[in-house]
Structure 1
């Protein structure tokens, strides 16, 4: 019962707005024609209309749409035949004399109502036809709105499921690459290995804590990327051609977790630092995030590697799901240098 009243207050509240408008319009029309609001008569008319409306709306139409098309046709035709037949039976006789004469007109020129009451014909046929047509129209409008909401809800469920799958796919990929970095350091017995393990544990904690969240603070996301860069900088410490720029008030915005990390991972995984510079630039201005990354590589393209393809395709799907029409992703691969330029509107 509580759900029913909530439905009346929310989903069908515009019904009552329409009824109020119709009553107000009818009163004004009667006053303009007859010089009288005919308040009591109009209240009776609309009370009958509302009762017939919701009987048809909540009982007959829901029953009808549950039937097969053949039954719907038979029931509809039968209803029309019975309805028209009853109209003919209860049709009042035509008056022998005109229902009014010149004395019925007021001095102001307003017309008087033809009759003061309502008979069975008026209630069930004149008012009934209006109620049936009106309730049928609103019933299917409401069903259309309700189906639209269901479709949106199902689409949201589908997107949420896809997003969850994408998140689960990228995490093992990330840990595999990070462990490779530690393995490389352990082979050369680097003194920085304990520090790298400590940094990686922070990154793992961050990644695991983001599984249940929709979006993360952008500043936390950038901090996580910086930690990953620090691990790779230790690994490639003998090279002096890596450049990183971070600019903007990152703390004021949120972003999908690990959205940018895939490109950073791929850059370090395939970079040939002997061949050229590795650059990462992250600028935030007026709610627009500009992410740029470039690196040189040797005799290998990202497209020929399944891990790289998986990570990039996942990122593209995330952008399509979460930021439709709010991003511009340009990827350029000329055979020796790989560039990624992403512009993302966050506000």
Structure 2
């Protein structure tokens, strides 16, 4: 019962607003013409109108739309023919003479309220016709609005499902690359291996705790990227040309989890630090995130794996799903240098 009243108060609240407006104008018109609100007659008039309206709205029209198109056409034509025939049969005779001459209109003494009440003809054919047309109009407006909400809900569900799949796909790709880094350190028996494992455990905990469809605090995301960079810095400590810079108040914004990490992973995976520097710059200014990454690679040894292509494609799909018209992604490859620039407007 509570849900029913809540539906009346929300979904169909404009019905009541329209009824109130109609009643208000009808009373004002009667008072301005007849000098009387004609309350007894108007109460009957609108009570009958509302009853006929909702009989049509909740019973007749739902029955009609459940039929096949052919049956709808047959029912509609039959109803119109029968309705018009009955209206002609029960139509009262027209007055032989006008109640007043045109020259007397609209003198007040000639404008008298009707005292005949509401006849059977009025109920079936005047009020009924108004209620039928009015209910049909609002019924299909409501259906259109309801279908719009369903379409939005289905679209949101579809995007949520796609996003969940994308997140599940990128996690194994991330862990595979990270484990490769640890494996490289373990082969040379680096004393930094335990520390790298500890850092990786923090990253794994962060990734596994962020499988919901909610965005993460940007500062946490940047911290996670810094930890990954630290792992790779330990791995490539024999090279000095690894540069990274982070500027901005990251605490005030949120971002899709692991959105930037794919580009960082690929840069480290293919970078040849003997040929050139690997540069990572992240700048946040008034909600505009400017992410820039560059690395050099050896062309003869360069061949992108399917995992890397999948990671980049997943990131593009995430951007399209979550940030439509709010980002610009430029990826440039000149044969020896790979550049990625992402400008993303955050809320």
TM-score by length of 1: 0.95
Q: How does 1:196-235 map to 2 (within 5 A)?
A: 196-235=196-235
Q: CA deviation at 1:69?
A: 1.1
Q: Is the Cα–Cα contact under 8 Å of residues 289 and 344 in structure 1 kept in the other structure?
A: yes
Aligned to 2:271: 271
Q: Is the Cα–Cα contact under 8 Å of residues 105 and 112 in structure 1 kept in the other structure?
A: no
Q: Is the Cα–Cα contact under 8 Å of residues 291 and 341 in structure 2 kept in the other structure?
A: yes
Q: CA deviation at 1:31?
A: 2.7
Q: CA deviation at 1:107?
A: 6.4
- The reply to whether residue 160 of structure 1 matches residue 175 of structure 2 is no
Other structure's SS at 2:280 match: strand
Aligned to 1:18: 18
Change (3 A) 1:250 1:282: same
CA distance in 2, matches of 1:293, 1:312: 14
Other structure's SS at 2:203 match: helix
Q: Is the Cα–Cα contact under 8 Å of residues 262 and 315 in structure 1 kept in the other structure?
A: yes
Q: How does 1:1-347 map to 2 (within 5 A)?
A: 1-99=1-99, 108=108, 111-299=111-299, 304-347=304-347
CA distance in 1, matches of 2:303, 2:123: 75
Q: Is the Cα–Cα contact under 8 Å of residues 160 and 213 in structure 2 kept in the other structure?
A: no
Unaligned 5+ residue runs, structure 2? none
CA distance in 2, matches of 1:182, 1:110: 101
CA distance in 2, matches of 1:324, 1:274: 38
CA distance in 1, matches of 2:84, 2:96: 24
Q: Which portions of structure 1, spanning 4 or more consecutive aligned residues, are displaced by more than 3 angstroms?
A: 96-102, 104-110, 300-304
- CA distances 1:82-129 after superposition (whole Å, capped 9, x unpaired): 211221222112234444579x98865782234451111111111111
Change (3 A) 1:221 1:109: farther
CA distance in 2, matches of 1:128, 1:213: 51
Q: Is the Cα–Cα contact under 8 Å of residues 164 and 213 in structure 2 kept in the other structure?
A: no
Other structure's SS at 1:20 match: helix
CA RMSD after TM alignment: 2.0
CA distance in 2, matches of 1:207, 1:14: 47
Other structure's SS at 1:32 match: helix
TM-score by length of 2: 0.95
Change (3 A) 1:213 1:80: closer
Change (3 A) 1:214 1:88: same
CA distance in 2, matches of 1:170, 1:96: 86
Q: CA deviation at 1:174?
A: 0.2
Q: CA deviation at 1:301?
A: 8.6
